[in-house]
Amino acid sequence: MADVITVEHLTVAFPAKEGTGEVVRDVSLAIGAGERVGLVGESGSGKSLTARAIMRLIPRPGAITGGTVRFEGAELAPKSAPKWRGTKLAMITQDPLSSLNPLVKIGTQITEMLRYHRRLSRSEASAKAQELLRSVGIPDPRRTMTRYPAVLSGGMRQRVALAIAISCDPRLLIADEPTTALDVTVQAQVLTLLERMTAEHGSAVLLISHDLGVVGNFCDRLLVMYAGRIVESGPTAQVIGDPAHPYTRALIASIPSLQGELPDRLASIAGSPPAGGAHAAGCAFAPRCPLAREVCRRADPALEKIQSSSRTVPGDSHQAACHAIGDDTWNQAA
Partner 1 sequence: MTAPPTGPLLGGELPEAALEPGTAAELAAVADEPGLGRRALTSLRRDPVALISVLAVVILALIAVFAPLLAPHNPLQAYPNGLSSDGAPVGPGSSFLLGTDPNGRDVLSRLIYGARVSLLVGVVATGLASAIGVLVGGIAGYAGGIVDTVLMRITDVVLSFPILLFCVALIAITGPSTRNVMLVIAFGYWTYLARIVRGLVLSLKEREFVVAARTLGVGHRAILRRHILPHLIPAIIVYSTLGIATSILIEASLSYLGIGVPLPQASWGQMISQGQEYFQTAPWLLIAPGVALILTVLAFNLAGDWLTDLLDPETSGDRR
Partner 2 sequence: MTDPVHAHSVAPSVAAAPAAPAPAAPPAVDVRDLAVHFKVHRGLVSAQTVKAVDGVSFSIAAGETLGLAGESGSGKSTVARTLVRINRPTAGSVLLAGAETARLSGQQLRAYRRRMQMVYQDPYDSLDPKMTIKDAIGEGLIVRGVPRAGRKAEVEELLARVNLPVALAGRYPGQLSGGQRQRVSIARALAVSPEVIVCDEAVAALDVSIRAQVLNLLKDIQADAGVSYLFISHDLSTLRFMADRIAIMYVGRLVEYGTSEEVFSQPAHPYTQALMAAVPDIVNLGGPRPAPLPGEPPNPASPPSGCAFHPRCPLAVELCRTVAPPLVRKASGQLAACHVVPDAPEVTP
Nearer to partner 2, 203 or 236 (CB): 236
| 146 contacts partner 2 (rule: CB under 8 A) | no
| 216 contacts partner 2 (rule: CB under 8 A) | yes
| 77 contacts partner 2 (rule: CB under 8 A) | no
| 217 contacts partner 2 (rule: CB under 8 A) | yes
Judged by CB under 8 A, the residue of 1, 266, 313, 333 near partner 2 is 266
Judged by CB under 8 A, the stretch of 51-59, 75-83, 201-209, 286-294 that binds partner 1 is: 286-294
Report 224-243 residues binding partner 2 (CB under 8 A): 236-237, 240-241
Residue 119's alpha-carbon distances to 80, 90, 104, in angstroms, are: 19, 18, 20
Note whether 293 and 334 are within 8 A (CB): yes
Name which of 214, 222, 250 is nearest 238 in CA terms: 222
| 1 contacts partner 2 (rule: CB under 8 A) | no
| 89 contacts partner 2 (rule: CB under 8 A) | no
| 271 contacts partner 1 (rule: CB under 8 A) | yes
| Shortest distance in whole angstroms from residue 14 CB to partner 1 | 14
| 123 contacts partner 1 (rule: CB under 8 A) | no
Quick one: DSSP state of residue 201? H
How many of the chain's residues bind partner 1 (CB under 8 A)? 36
Judged by CB under 8 A, the residue of 97, 168, 188, 291 near partner 1 is 291
Which residues are CB-neighbours of 284 under 8 A, at least 6 positions away? 226, 227, 228, 229, 274, 300
Quick one: DSSP state of residue 93? -
Name which of 30, 38, 32 is nearest 217 in CA terms: 38
| 330 contacts partner 1 (rule: CB under 8 A) | yes
Which residues are CB-neighbours of 84 under 8 A, at least 6 positions away? 71, 76
Judged by CB under 8 A, the residue of 123, 185, 259, 328 near partner 1 is 328
Judged by CB under 8 A, the residue of 269, 283, 303, 321 near partner 1 is 269
Name which of 5, 7, 172, 168 is nearest 72 in CA terms: 5
Which residues are CB-neighbours of 7 under 8 A, at least 6 positions away? 27, 28, 29, 30, 50, 53, 54, 67, 68, 69, 70
Helix residue ranges, H only, the chain = 47-54, 81-84, 96-99, 106-118, 122-135, 141-145, 154-166, 184-201, 212-218, 236-241, 246-253, 294-298
258 binds, among partner 2, partner 1, none (CB under 5 to 8 A by kind): partner 2
| 270 contacts partner 1 (rule: CB under 8 A) | yes
Reading phi first (left if > 0) and then psi (alpha if -120 to 50, else beta), residue 298 is in: alpha
Note whether 203 and 172 are within 8 A (CB): yes
| 17 contacts partner 1 (rule: CB under 8 A) | no
Name which of 166, 4, 22 is nearest 73 in CA terms: 4
Q: How many CB atoms lie within 10 A of CB 17?
A: 7
Judged by CB under 8 A, the residue of 241, 263, 294, 302 near partner 1 is 241
| 78 contacts partner 2 (rule: CB under 8 A) | no
Judged by CB under 8 A, the stretch of 29-37, 95-103, 117-125, 269-277 that binds partner 2 is: 269-277
Nearer to partner 1, 185 or 310 (CB): 310
210 binds, among partner 1, partner 2, none (CB under 5 to 8 A by kind): partner 2
- Site residues for partner 1 per CB under 8 A: 241-242, 244, 246, 249-250, 253, 265, 267-272, 274-275, 287-291, 306-310, 318, 324-332
Q: Which residues bind partner 2 (CB under 8 A)?
A: 42-43, 153, 155-156, 183-189, 191-192, 210-214, 216-218, 236-237, 240-241, 250-252, 254-260, 262-269, 272-273
